[in-house]
Amino acid sequence: MADKRTAKLTLDDGREIVLPVFEGTEQECAVDVSSLRKETGYITYDNGFVNTGSCQSTITFVDGEKGILRYRGYPIEELAENCRFVEVAYLLVYGALPTREELDNFSAQLTERANIHEDMKHFFTGFPVAAHPMAILSSMVTSLSSYYPTSGDEEWNFDDTVARLIAKVRTIAAYSYRKATGEPFVYPRGDLSYCENFLNMMFSGEGKNYEISDKALRALDKVLILHADHEQNCSTSAVRLVGSSRAPLYASIGAGISALWGPLHGGASQAAVEMLMAINEDGGDCGKYIAMAKDKDDPFRLMGFGHRVYKNYDPRARILKQSCDEILDELNIDDPLLSIAKSLEKVALEDEYFVSRNLYPNVDFYAGIIYRALGIPVNMFTVMFTLGRLPGWIAQWYESTQDPDWRIWRPRQVYQGETSRAFIPIDRR
């Protein structure tokens, strides 16, 4: 809602346009330019939408300058320390932390809907063995709309769809891994928690005695919680954009998965670990790679540092750094990548080049090390990000559908191409 403040825009022809100012509950202010083109013929230009508010939301608050992240008002540090992932998923989707009864009912729904339709298992045989798990996941999630009622259908039920998506995406993710390894699928079990079920479907089987430690489960819960939502990022914006056309939830989530796949977004944890592996194979000389990152003529980039929003230490990275120490100690793993990561972080936090550019470690920097400790292969890292981000996408999609000012997203552009040209028949060209 606009407050009494306004902003005044003076155009080059002397016209002055008064624009309303909006303020959020955390004192974020925005100039409402929605009527600018209609009144003046002008549009705003904001490459990459860095300074553009595309919606009003009650889900997640990020203060990049102060390093603050809250879901529905709750600090991320408290949620990561005290909650399981399923609790946070419920919080994001429904707006409040669940009671014991609500959590039990929600968990029971996830268990009930964990299996995919038997016919869908045939889809996996159609993918090449080397198919990337994200390609499989995106295709399979979109195909869910062929089996279950979608938004807009008379039989559609939001609660059922939420439970179905969160439960089945986990199963599809595990099956995509088993497809790649050539091992038989492992069905979800009714006696295991959300994270236990995922790890069991990934790694158990005939002749395998797979034991899941409590520390491993807590580490996985934390990673998923920390990835659960992050305001209007690339993939969340993709979900909202597709949903603005009134596309069903499954299709919108499929778009989010595709957007997340990119190495500058969800694929960053894979890129960070691959960088650490390369440094380790090169003798572990962090100074060499720090120098390369500072050389403007060198194409090398220090992955896992810096963030579009955070101009301070990413609060999620601080939590995961501690989790790395705990999980590697619990599992008695001596991973040289953690030592390299800490060395890089120490140098970067003390180097004026990185400090002046706000290049602090982000969530991707330590997430991959935890995944490695759990035995999750590198090409599954972005899939893990998807599992965590799914509740946030659902919440964002649903919130957008309830917006009384719903409209299809349709950005403008500043055209820089050829002006009107006379057509030349093909025989005269």
Question: In the annotation, is 307 catalytic?
Answer: yes
Do the Cβ atoms of 221 and 227 come closer than 8 Å? Answer: no
The C-alpha atoms of residue 81 and residue 95 are separated, in whole angstroms, by 19
Q: Considering 364, 403, 405, 427, which one is annotated as catalytic?
A: 364
Which is nearest to 33 in space by CA: 1, 42, 23, 240? 42
Cβ within 8 Å of residue 312, ≥6 positions away = 64, 65, 66, 67, 358, 360
Range list of β-strands (E), 100-179: none
3-class SS of residue 62:
strand
Select from 181, 172, 188, 168 the least CA-distant residue to 134: 172
Rg (alpha carbons) of the chain, rounded to whole number: 24
* Cα(233)–Cα(417) distance, integer angstroms: 29
Work out whether strand 68-71 and strand 74-75 pair parallel, antiparallel, or are unpaired: antiparallel
Give the whole-angstrom CA distance, residue 80 versus residue 317.
12
Written as six digits, the tokens of 386 are 């998807």
Give the chain's largest Cα–Cα span.
80
Give yes or no for a contact between 167 and 190, defined as CB atoms under 8 angstroms apart: no
CB 246 within 8 A of CB 402: no
Q: What phi and psi values does residue 10 have, to the nearest 5 degrees? A: -100, 120
The yes-or-no answer on residue 104 being catalytic is no
- Catalytic residue, chosen from 227, 230, 307, 314, is 307
b/e map 202-223, b = 16+ CB within 10 Å: bbbeeeeeeebeebbbbbbbbb
Distant-in-sequence contacts of 17-23, Cβ < 8 A, 24+ apart: 22/56
User: Active-site residue numbers?
Assistant: 307, 364
